[in-house]
Amino acid sequence: MAFSSHSSLVDFGNYHVTKGIARLVDGIITKGEGSYVTFEDGRTMLDFSSGIGVTNFGHCHAKISGAAAEQCMKLVHGQCSIAFHGPYLQLIERLLPMMPHPSLDSFFFWNSGSEAVEGAIKLARNVTGRQNIITMQGAYHGRTFGAMAVTRSKTIYSEGFHPLMPGVFTLPFPYWHQLGRSPDTPSSELSAFCLDQLALLLSQQSSPRDTAAIIIESVIGEGGYVPAPPEFLHGLREVCDKHGILLIIDEVQSGYGRTGKNFAIEYSGVRPDIMTVAKGLANGFPLSAVISRKELTDQLKAGSMGGTYAGNAVACAAAVAVADVMKEERILDNVNARSAELFSALNTLRADPKLGPCILDVRGQGLMVAVEFASPVGTSPHDPFINSTMPEKLASRVAKRCVQKGMLILTTSVYETIRFIPPLNISKEDLAKGCKIFAEAVEEIVREG
């Protein structure tokens, strides 16, 4: 089929690609290079979305894409149920010293974050012989059936798809807005409330002997970029230890350097029983991991885990290169330096007498950072943070304006929140450029009202 123009090709896509996919930009990306993407119509944009936290080392990093290209000419598909392949084992070798706890020594590679979550739930149910899973209010774990069932960030992910997997219970998460508390409420207070709710949940809804696992993101992602307070994570660990419940830490978005540590759970020092990783793991090649301890995974029957493409050789080779680049380029140093600059730029906006009142919160860790705006409508008339003097839909309007100004940036959560997920190796200059675009967009939208 011949397309006479760019717009007819976009129209073709808009017609034939399922409406089930939402899109930030009407356009066709033809090239990605470092922190930038180029569209077929000639637009070049600074990418502060990193393909939703995936191209952490920039688009088409020479060493990572080079490793994948080289692997393509050796072995593309080894198939994990046929035999081992080299990159699979090399990747485990690279990952072992990076683990947040030495007990995490057993690996299963899959393709997507959702699949990793499915694997974690299956493992937890299998080894505990229990069914129920406790998830967090605001959690996002994916769109496949098990992952969707433990997702609580927005109903769009489950609307029309019920009945969901049964045996899922929801715990309040220590996020001030969801709990109707002010943004400066000490996290210890929020955590104490939620841990008390956990005790109630275990005595009123799901008995410990029926509870297989608690699943939690180290930083709630789709639910608003809210780091889980260390005291909350420690409280969960204690409850899990007391009752033989497994703690699943989902590091799909927060892991692999994103927050300035290899894994965000390191901020608390809490030991996961099972950890899920994906996204930045292979810088854009589809790869995820379910990581646990051998003592647990040895209880699985051979054949109960697997998948045609699980642990693809090209994706694993790319991931080996990612792990090497992370060390060679001292990525964590860059994340922490750029993070300080990003927080400083956002807090400067917050201190501005005109813009400050529009900003309820600046939060996050490393380069997983969010700005939550005030709103005149809230999630309901009872939302205590409704402010009728504020412009409507600040987050989506600011994001759209950033796109017009040449920067890709995403919103998150049911609240008016923008998230910053630039590449982890972004330069000082590009970070400053993105902050300037964002500040201009906020100023313009607030002025327009």
Task: Please give the residue ranges that form the binding site for ligand PLP (CB under 6 A).
Answer: 52, 112-114, 117, 140-142, 217, 221-222, 250, 252-253, 278
Q: What is the CA radius of gyration of the chain?
A: 22
| Closest to 278 in 3D by CA, of 294, 290, 260 | 290
Residue number, 142 or 366, with CB nearest to ligand PLP: 142
Closer CB to ligand PLP, 375 or 413, in the complex: 413
Which residue, 88 or 140, has its beta carbon nearer to ligand PLP?
140
Kindly tell me which of 363 and 397 has the beta carbon lying closer to ligand PLP: 363
Minimum distance between the CB of residue 268 and ligand PLP, rounded to whole angstroms?
17
Least distance from ligand PLP to the Cβ atom of residue 181, Å: 24
Q: Minimum distance between the CB of residue 279 and ligand PLP, rounded to whole angstroms?
A: 7
Nearest distance, CB of residue 23 and ligand PLP, angstroms: 15
We find the least distance from the C-beta atom of residue 361 to ligand PLP, in angstroms, to be 20
Contact call for residues 13 and 28 (beta carbons, < 8 A): yes
Least Å distance between CB 83 and ligand PLP? Answer: 26
In the bound state with ligand PLP, the residue whose beta carbon lies nearer, of 191 and 412, is 412
The least CB distance from residue 173 to ligand PLP, in Å, is 13
Nearer to ligand PLP, 128 or 253 (CB): 253
DSSP label of 265? G
**Rounded-to-integer distance, Cα 57 and Cα 34, Å:** 7
**331-351 and 313-328 are packed helices; what angle lies between their axes, rounded to 10 degrees?**
70
Q: 85 vs 419, which CB is nearer to ligand PLP?
A: 419
Q: Which residue has the tokens 């699980």?
A: 310
Beta-strand relationship, 288-292 and 106-110:
antiparallel
The set of residues, in sequence order, having a beta carbon less than 8 Å from that of 187 and lying 6+ positions away, is 174, 229, 231, 232
CB of 385 to ligand PLP, least distance (A): 25
Q: Tokens 């970070």 label which residue?
A: 431
**Residue 218: closest CA among 208, 228, 210, 203:** 228
- The H or E element that residue 404 is part of is helix 394-404
- Residue 345 has which token pair? 């730029």
258 or 401: CB nearest ligand PLP: 258
Chain-centre distance for alpha carbon 264: 11
Closest separation in Å from C-beta 31 to ligand PLP: 23
Please state whether 138 falls in left (phi above 0), alpha (psi between -120 and 50) or beta.
left
Strands 132-136 and 106-110: unpaired
Taking the complex as a whole, the smallest distance from the CB of residue 122 to ligand PLP amounts, in Å, to 15
From the CB of residue 449, how many other CB atoms can be counted at a distance below 10 Å? Answer: 8
225 burial class (0-12, 13-18, 19+ CB within 10 angstroms)? buried
> Residue 259 carries which DSSP code?
T
Question: Which residues are within 8 A (CB) of 164 and not within 5 positions of it... i.e. 6 or more apart?
Answer: 145, 148, 149, 158
3-state SS of 337-375 is: HHHHHHHHHHHHHHHCCCCHHHEEEEEEECCEEEEEECE
Beta carbon nearer to ligand PLP, 222 or 430: 222
Nearer residue to ligand PLP within complex by CB, 194 or 289 = 289
> Smaller CB distance to ligand PLP: residue 311 or 391?
311
Measured from the CB of residue 301, what is the shortest distance to ligand PLP in angstroms?
Answer: 25
Report which DSSP code applies to 338.
H
Q: Which residue is nearest to ligand PLP (CB)?
A: 113
Structure tokens at 104: 């995490």
Instruction: Decide: residue 330, CB within 10 A, 0-12 exposed, 13-18 middle, 19+ buried.
Output: exposed
